[in-house]
Amino acid sequence: MPLTFPILLPDLAATLSAGADLAKELKAGEVIALVGDLGAGKTSLTQGIVGALGAGDATSPTFSLVQEYRTGSLEVYHFDFYRVESEHELIDLGWDDYLDRDALVIAEWPGRFPDLFPKTTRWLRLSHHESGRLLEEIPPETH
């Protein structure tokens, strides 16, 4: 059954669990854009996704810009655009090539380069909430 948004995430365990639940819905060729402030839980949600797919622990790609995971079911490419300076740098990194692969692509800080995402991208927002974090799906026309 598909996830119903918004989802209140009171703690890390709930964020990891939401990622695991989301993983059940994902397939090769999909792109997930994770929007949220520093510390909102973008990497934790990704850890839940990657862990549920059988690739072990995901780490933040802040300094490497992309982490690659091979799971039993599909390849996952986890990007962090926080330190990417320009669209040109992202293209040189191979962004288009990653999108052409039959893989799951997850990108943190997608708002820096929203025009480089496919129209079919699924946009999710994590935000701080008085009871923890809030996970919402962003309608395509609002990002």
**Cβ–Cβ < 8 Å for 4, 131:** no
Integer Cα distance of 43 and 51 in angstroms:
12
Q: Hey, what CATH class is 7-94+105-116 in?
A: alpha beta
Instruction: Delimit the domains of the chain by residue range.
Output: 7-94+105-116
**Tens digits of residue pLDDT in 36-59:** 999 899 999 999 999 999 876 666
Strand order in the sheet with 75-80: 7-9, 132-137, 122-129, 31-35, 104-108, 75-80, 66-70
Residue listed under structure tokens 């039993």: 72
Q: Report if pTM > 0.85.
A: yes
CA trace torsion 103, 104, 109, 110 (10° rounding) = 70
**Tens digits of residue pLDDT in 56-85:** 666 665 556 888 888 777 899 999 999 899
